[in-house]
């Protein structure tokens, strides 16, 4: 049934492109129109990619055919409500891919970058941070020195503890912009056990050493919800004198009440939100100012449309943005972040993934990183294309669970949060 809202270009086809140039399962949506124009978006959900592919092909494609490609907001709400039960990560990732593709398409049709359609840019480049890991502060600082020579100032630091399921402890590969930690370590079927006490004491020890080695860099650490909420409060208080740029995900989404305790006892800035699934999940975080940095995963919350609204809402409460930007997001998603940062007055900092030359070939026009900053370009749409022939050279890798994370267990055998 044709969409009664809007006119102009109509959607004639929806294609799903699955590719993994860096070994990470990326899902790209391509929306085609009767005017011959197309747009692309990121629907990447690395843990359950094939469920998103199914949702796109079997449900949203027939739902969208014949609708106006120009009525983006109407299409978003129609898709969001089409399943009746909302807030699901599979549904939202599928919607996000289509939503971004429609924004990309509109920009291309008008010959304008997406940020120009939403009020125009307020800055010329974006401050970024990169991931650095190592066995101790000395090793981490050695890597940071190399990044500083390339113009980077801010670093998410994780320490590899022997025989412990350390988060962020993967091997690295070299890119033209610097060293990037691999992300497939999370998929190993035989994960080492987790020891909360060892993590707590060792990480604090090495963070203190790192701050002594370098008093100027911006340091970020990701707890990744792996410790008990009461320990998280203690951890946030213990690192207060280190002047972190922010502490990320100290508690799980189920325990956001403890953010109130953290706010009451320490000035350590908190970044939170990548594990939330829908815009309304952020209401309390923002209205009660429980966080300093808003962290959304753009595909999990449904795309560019809700991300822009959330950033605007956060601005009213003095909260900055720090959108989730790992390799679990395609270059199309990173480009969407570039446009959000370009037009958002309360932009804080952007997490980036340093992609390989293989990804550069699959995604021509990927955002450029220069002197530690993401450069804002003026190409139409989101500015990224996909070479479908190149993409086909990198199919999803084989994995026992098709990308789902294997469980991580404590020494007593109980499963912990990932």
Quick one: pLDDT at residue 219? 98
CA distances in angstroms from 260 to 199, 267, 284, 311, 325, listed in the order given: 23, 12, 11, 21, 26
Going by the DSSP 8-state scheme, the letter that residue 57 receives in this structure is: I
Of the candidates 399, 389, 406, the one whose C-alpha atom is nearest the C-alpha of residue 19 is 389
3-state DSSP assignment of residue 174: strand
User: How many Cβ atoms sit within 10 Å of the Cβ of residue 347?
Assistant: 21
150 pLDDT exceeds 80?
yes
Q: What is the pLDDT of residues 93-131, one digit of tens each?
A: 999 999 999 999 999 999 999 999 999 999 999 999 999
From the candidates 59, 202, 224, 255, give the one annotated as an active-site residue.
224
Of the candidates 222, 240, 296, 286, the one whose C-alpha atom is nearest the C-alpha of residue 259 is 286
Identify the structural domains of the chain with CATH numbers, from first to last: 117-382 (3.20.20.120)
Contacts made by residues 392-396, CB under 8 angstroms, sequence distance 24+: 392/19, 394/19, 394/20, 394/21, 394/358, 394/362, 395/18, 395/19, 395/20, 396/18, 396/19, 396/20, 396/25, 396/49
Q: Are strands 179-181 and 172-174 parallel, antiparallel or unpaired?
A: antiparallel
- Mean pLDDT of all residues in the chain? 95
Quick one: pLDDT at residue 168? 75
Quick one: pLDDT at residue 4? 64
Q: What is the pTM (predicted TM-score) of this model?
A: 0.95
Q: Are residues 221 and 245 in contact, defined by beta-carbon separation less than 8 angstroms?
A: no
Q: What is the pLDDT of residues 225-277, one digit of tens each?
A: 999 999 999 999 999 999 999 999 999 999 999 999 999 999 999 999 999 99
Quick one: pLDDT at residue 9? 92
138 pLDDT exceeds 60?
yes
User: How many Cβ atoms sit within 10 Å of the Cβ of residue 44?
Assistant: 27
Q: State yes or no: is 167 an active-site residue.
A: yes
Q: State yes or no: is 224 an active-site residue.
A: yes
Q: Are residues 134 and 140 in contact, defined by beta-carbon separation less than 8 angstroms?
A: yes
CA distances in angstroms from 327 to 91, 254, 297, 351, listed in the order given: 21, 25, 12, 10
Mean pLDDT value of segment 206-213: 98
Residues of the chain with pLDDT > 70, as a percent, come to: 99
Residues of the chain with pLDDT > 90, as a percent, come to: 87
From the candidates 115, 167, 353, 396, give the one annotated as an active-site residue.
167
184 pLDDT exceeds 90?
no
Mean pLDDT value of segment 319-340: 97
Quick one: pLDDT at residue 272? 98
Quick one: pLDDT at residue 1? 52
**Can you tell me the distance from the alpha carbon of 133 to that of 163, in angstroms, rounded to the nearest whole number?**
16
Q: What is the pLDDT of residues 363-415, one digit of tens each?
A: 999 999 999 999 999 999 999 999 999 999 999 999 999 999 999 999 899 99
On the CB side of 84, CA atoms within 13 Å amount to 0
């Amino acid at each position: 049934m044709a969409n009664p809202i809007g006119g102009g270009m109509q959607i004639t086809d929806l294609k799903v492109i699955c590719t993994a140039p860096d070994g990470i399962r990326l899902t790209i949506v391509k929306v085609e129109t009767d005017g011959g124009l197309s747009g692309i978006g990121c629907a990447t959900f690395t843990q359950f990619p094939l469920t998103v592919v199914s949702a796109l092909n079997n449900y949203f494609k027939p739902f969208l055919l014949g609708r106006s490609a120009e009525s983006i907001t109407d299409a978003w709400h129609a898709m969001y409500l089409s399943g009746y039960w909302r807030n699901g990560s599979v549904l939202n990732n599928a919607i996000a891919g289509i939503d971004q593709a429609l924004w990309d398409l509109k920009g291309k049709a008008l010959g304008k970058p997406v940020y120009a359609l939403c009020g125009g840019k307020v800055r010329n480049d974006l401050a970024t941070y990169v991931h650095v890991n190592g066995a101790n502060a000395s090793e981490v600082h050695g890597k940071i020195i190399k990044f500083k020579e390339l113009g980077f100032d801010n670093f998410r630091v994780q320490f590899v503890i022997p025989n412990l399921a350390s988060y962020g402890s993967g091997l690295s590969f070299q890119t033209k912009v610097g060293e990037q930690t691999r992300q497939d370590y999370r998929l190993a079927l035989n994960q080492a056990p987790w020891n909360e006490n060892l993590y707590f004491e060792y990480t604090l020890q090495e963070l203190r050493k790192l701050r002594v080695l370098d008093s100027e860099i911006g340091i970020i650490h990701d707890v990744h919800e792996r410790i008990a909420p009461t320990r998280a409060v203690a951890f946030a208080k213990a690192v207060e004198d280190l002047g972190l740029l922010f502490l990320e995900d100290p508690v799980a989404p189920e325990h956001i009440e403890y953010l109130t305790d953290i706010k009451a006892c320490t000035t350590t800035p908190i970044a939170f939100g990548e594990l939330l699934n829908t815009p309304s999940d952020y209401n309390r975080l923002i209205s009660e100012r429980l966080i300093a940095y808003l962290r959304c995963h753009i595909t999990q919350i449904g795309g560019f449309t809700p991300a822009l609204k959330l950033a605007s809402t956060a601005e009213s409460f003095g909260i900055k943005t720090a959108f989730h930007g790992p390799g679990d997001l395609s270059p199309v998603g990173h480009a969407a972040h570039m446009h959000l940062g370009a037009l958002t007055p309360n932009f804080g900092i952007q997490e980036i993934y340093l992609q390989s030359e293989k990804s550069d070939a699959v995604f021509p026009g990927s955002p450029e990183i220069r002197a530690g900053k993401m450069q804002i370009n003026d190409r139409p749409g989101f500015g990224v294309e996909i070479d479908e022939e190149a993409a086909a050279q990198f199919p999803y890798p084989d994995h026992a669970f098709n990308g789902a994370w294997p469980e991580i267990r404590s020494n007593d055998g109980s499963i912990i949060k990932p």
